[in-house]
Amino acid sequence: MEGTVSGTLPLHLHSFVPNPFTNNNHKVFRTRASTKLLPIQTHEPPSPPPNTQRYKTQPKYPAKKPPEPFTTKESFPDSLPLHTKNPRAIYKDVQRFARQNKLKQALAILDYMDQQGIPVNPTTFSSLITACVRTKSLTEARQVHTHIRINGLENNEFLRTKLVNMYMACGSVEDAQKLFDECSTKNVYSWNALLRGTVISGKRRYADVLSIYTEMRELGVGLNVYTFSNVIKSYAGASALWQGLKTHALLIKNGLLDSSILRTTLIDLYFKCGKVKLARRVFEETDERDIVLCGAIISGFAHNRLQREALEYVRRMVEEGIWPNSVILTIILPVIGEVCAHKLGREVHAYVMKRKNYLRQIFIQSALIDMYCKCGDMGSGRRVFYGSRERNTICWTALMSGYASNGRLEQAMRSIIWMQQEGFRPDVVTVATILPICSELRVLKQGKEVHAYALKNWFLPNVSIVSSLMVMYSKCGILEYSLKLFNGLEQRNVILWTAMIDSYTEHGYLNEALCVFRSMQLSRHRPDSVTMSRILSVCGQVKLLKLGKEVHAQVLKKNFDNIHFVSAEVVKMYGNCGVVDKAKLVFDALQIKGSMTWTAIIEAYGYNNRFQDAMDLFDRMRTAGFTPNHFTFEVVLSICDQAGLVDDACQILNLMCRSYKMKASENHYSVVIRLLTRFGRLEEAQRFVQMSSSSLQQREN
């Protein structure tokens, strides 16, 4: 099934036919709240005379024929006729449809009840409003509001509060604000509904939230836990640290800090503002911790790329008797993959299998596939994938990404075809995953097919896809297309600026890449950690020590030096510029070291021909308990090749395969084979050639 991809492999990206189950021509429910209702009869209609036949007159214009009479069968096709039920049973059926998000069926019953003069209670309307919030369906939401007016419940304070929240959730800020302004008495619950709706509507409405919050305080509204929770969430989204600190002080003053909800939102706020110590302090000061609070601290560490701290707090959580739920599992599985903790990943997999309900959740399956692939265990990742009874686009994308990260790019390209053969349609994430693969394989034809598919399905202008397209066209040798995509966007962000820098760097136009960086600094966008690492790499290649020092100063100012890939690029930049002592000084000053920074300092010494020092650093790295990765072994083997350390090279390759259980790549074998051949040890070189070919066959299988 898994063969090799040809140079002209078509991806067969296409749009699928419409789903027959979502066809808009479905005519089961013919009336709506906005439809003109039939008059309600208050007496028995006269029976027709015997032996007479009534004929329906045909309308002159068939397109304008009046609506057919509303029948019980049409209004409630999924159960018993309505006339056999009492109102309380009908309420329960409407609520059941609302829980299932079947709003059309529920509204059809409401239309029938309105015709029959049966009133609807507030509890039933509450369930319908909740369903509208879940589905974010503004059309059905307005019909529910119409029925509330028909039943004379418009002044019900409970329903009015829920209606404000409903309109905000459906994106109709004007309707929500109008309804709120019409309230004769405004209490903290209606204010909270408006506040929460403003927060969840997104669209960077931090100023509106602050305005509502300020007005509440000026009017003397009694603020409660949910008020502060919504306000702090808004601060977290806007990274408004100063406002968050003031609100934190107000919580302490009012004695509300004992609330687990508020402590969770404060932890989230401080993490999103980059204040890890403050977030940890809030957590440590909490006496009674629940799974939500533990999830907030673990998620914060994971999003700030502090993987070891995240795993440490998972261990502490388990020791306290709190077991991970499905949400925490989806947080820690990517973390395990990033640190390549294969043994811990297998333990988590065993825990998932023990809790059988977790194993059926597709997002946990996709997280397991991604974890195994990041740990280099493609076999286990594929077993999880093919062992799942229900697969979807997310699982296919995870497998595709796994093939790419393990160097099996051709299988990744074929996966998008197999995925469509199973009836799954590539989404935005799939397209963003396949484009870098097209870049690495330099397959311009397939890249253009993916570009056309993205245009046809209105995926553009998605930042991730546009940036991937820019890099793809650049690597395929068409820098002009990258420039067109970049110049054709009115609104740019840091990702697109970085993609343009990468495009120029790919073609060797390093001075142009530096010009793009300067233009970016003059714009309103500020370089992030990824941009800084790219520019440091450029400075090292052109040996611009002065500019490299300036960028290093910005890294220190923004606290990017705690990010491993940034600190590694700083070390490499000084090494490439010939200032190896400065590189060692930066390395020693790092509080947290990782495999990337150790590899960078080893490479810096090797670049400056200090081979023995580089080998000593490799030994120190292993002694300190750090696990070398594939790139570390490639750097060390390259140093052995330059220094002529043939015996050391053989030992290091054996160490990689036997002690660390890593599969050597073709590059690893080629360095050792080249070194043995140069020193005339042909029999050993032939043995490594056979090992390389057998390893390649196993990888393809």
| Residue among 288, 296, 338, 337 nearest 314 (CA) | 296
Mean pLDDT of 518-537: 87
Distance CA 686, CA 693 (A): 11
Confidence (pLDDT) at 528:
86
- What confidence tier does 297 reach under pLDDT thresholds 50, 70, 90? very high
Residue 686 makes CB contacts below 8 A (sequence gap 6+) with none
Residue 392 structure tokens? 């979807």
Confidence (pLDDT) at 256:
83
570: pLDDT strictly greater than 90 = yes
Q: What is the pLDDT of residues 57-93, one digit of tens each?
A: 444 444 545 545 545 455 455 554 555 567 788 888 8
C-alpha pair distances (Å), 179 with each of 175, 194, 203, 297, 490: 6, 10, 21, 38, 37
Confidence (pLDDT) at 696:
61
Confidence (pLDDT) at 574:
94
Burial environment of residue 159 by CB neighbours within 10 A (0 to 12, 13 to 18, 19 or more): buried
Helix (H, G, I), strand (E, B) or coil at 273: coil
Residue 410 structure tokens? 């051709």
Are 241 and 271 within 8 A, CB to CB? no
- What confidence tier does 54 reach under pLDDT thresholds 50, 70, 90? very low
* Residue count (the chain): 701
Question: What residue spans of 323-478 are helical by DSSP H?
Answer: 326-338, 342-354, 356-359, 362-374, 378-387, 393-405, 409-421, 428-441, 444-456, 463-475
Are 381 and 402 within 8 A, CB to CB? yes
Range from 46-50, 65-69, 217-221, 321-325 carrying the lowest mean pLDDT: 46-50
Are 176 and 168 within 8 A, CB to CB? yes
Residue 381 structure tokens? 């990742």
Distance CA 526, CA 520 (A): 7
Confidence (pLDDT) at 630:
85
Q: What is the pLDDT of residues 354-374, one digit of tens each?
A: 887 787 788 888 999 999 998
33 or 560: which carries more pLDDT confidence? 560
Confidence (pLDDT) at 31:
35
10: pLDDT strictly greater than 60 = no
CA 420 from chain centre, in angstroms, equals 22
Q: What is the pLDDT of residues 274-295, one digit of tens each?
A: 888 999 999 998 888 889 999 9
The 3-class secondary structure across 91-104, one letter per residue, is HHHHHHHHHCCCHH
- What confidence tier does 203 reach under pLDDT thresholds 50, 70, 90? low
271 or 59: which carries more pLDDT confidence? 271
Range from 42-51, 132-141, 233-242, 429-438 carrying the lowest mean pLDDT: 42-51
Can you tell me which residue has the tokens 């974010």? 136
Distance CA 416, CA 393 (A): 10
602: pLDDT strictly greater than 90 = yes
Distance CA 478, CA 494 (A): 22
Residue 230 makes CB contacts below 8 A (sequence gap 6+) with 192, 195, 196, 199, 209
Q: How does the average pLDDT of the chain come out, rounded?
A: 81
Confidence (pLDDT) at 12:
57
Mean pLDDT of 459-478: 86
Confidence (pLDDT) at 508:
84
267: pLDDT strictly greater than 60 = yes
Are 300 and 279 within 8 A, CB to CB? yes
681 or 186: which carries more pLDDT confidence? 681
- What confidence tier does 698 reach under pLDDT thresholds 50, 70, 90? low
Confidence (pLDDT) at 52:
42
C-alpha pair distances (Å), 153 with each of 163, 233, 485: 12, 32, 54
| Domain annotation for the chain: domains and CATH numbers | 67-185 (1.25.40), 628-701 (no CATH)
| Residue among 340, 338, 339, 384 nearest 363 (CA) | 384
- Percent of the chain at pLDDT > 90 equals 16
Confidence (pLDDT) at 312:
92
Confidence (pLDDT) at 83:
52
344: pLDDT strictly greater than 50 = yes
36 or 263: which carries more pLDDT confidence? 263
Confidence (pLDDT) at 5:
44
Compute φ and ψ for 50, nearest 5 degrees. -65, 155
Confidence (pLDDT) at 19:
39
Mean pLDDT of 328-334: 92
- What confidence tier does 32 reach under pLDDT thresholds 50, 70, 90? very low
Mean pLDDT of 42-67: 45
Confidence (pLDDT) at 66:
52
Mean pLDDT of 237-243: 84
Range from 21-25, 457-461, 549-553, 555-559 carrying the lowest mean pLDDT: 21-25
42: pLDDT strictly greater than 90 = no
Confidence (pLDDT) at 701:
52
Are 31 and 143 within 8 A, CB to CB? no
For 661: left if phi > 0, alpha if psi spans -120 to 50, otherwise beta; the answer is left
467: pLDDT strictly greater than 90 = no
Mean pLDDT of 662-691: 84
The answer to pTM > 0.85 is no
Residue 320 makes CB contacts below 8 A (sequence gap 6+) with 289
Confidence (pLDDT) at 368:
92
Distance CA 619, CA 596 (A): 15
**Dihedral angle of Cα 441, 443, 448, 449, to the nearest 10 degrees:** -90
- What confidence tier does 335 reach under pLDDT thresholds 50, 70, 90? very high
Can you tell me which residue has the tokens 């686009």? 393
Confidence (pLDDT) at 539:
92
DSSP 656: I
Residue 373 structure tokens? 């692939």
C-alpha pair distances (Å), 248 with each of 235, 241, 243, 254, 301: 11, 10, 9, 10, 21
Distance CA 207, CA 211 (A): 6
Compute φ and ψ for 389, nearest 5 degrees. -75, -35
